[in-house]
Amino acid sequence: MRRVWTLLLSLCLVAAVGCAGGQDAPPRLADQVRTGADTEAGPGVGVTSFDGTLEFEHLSGVVRGGINRLALVGDGTGEVSFGVDDPIAVTVSDDELASIAQALAAVDLGAIADEASDGAVPDDGELYRFAHDGTQVEVPVTDAPPELQTLADRLTAVIDANEPA
């Protein structure tokens, strides 16, 4: 009987030390997911809008109609279209606009356009198209540089938020 009590007391002691051991709880999974926003100042930090119109297309055999389009003006207004459906008027929030403007400022579309391949994309491949300030970029999704992918993710979020049910 003494062994049972010793064992129970030991387990209680281990549990008490484990719960109050002074260690912080592990971070939640949601806090570990990278959002693409860096804490260090870098290109685009502090930018809240952009000049002209930013056009974005995501082409894929997977999405409805094969192509989703967004044309967004620097004031936060624009149009989204899905496949051959009629465009839907959209307005993004100030925070969304600032996030998109910062991502756009961090991307050198001209340099990416100069490095882009001849546009040979398999029929079943996904493709991003960007156009802004006289520069057009067409790049396979799998070849998008990280800063371009960040911009694509932010623009895709606007498209997804406005897709009809």
Give me the mean pLDDT over the 72-100 stretch: 92
Confidence check: pLDDT of 83 > 90: no
* Global confidence as pTM: 0.67
CB-based burial of residue 121 (10 Å sphere; 0-12 exposed, 13-18 middle, 19+ buried)? middle
Are 122 and 103 spatial neighbours (Cβ–Cβ below 8 Å)? no
How far apart, in Å, are the Cα atoms of 94 and each of 19, 45, 149?
Answer: 43, 15, 21
Task: Write out pLDDT tens, residues 141-162.
Answer: 888 899 999 999 999 999 999 8
For the chain, give the longest Cα–Cα distance. Answer: 85
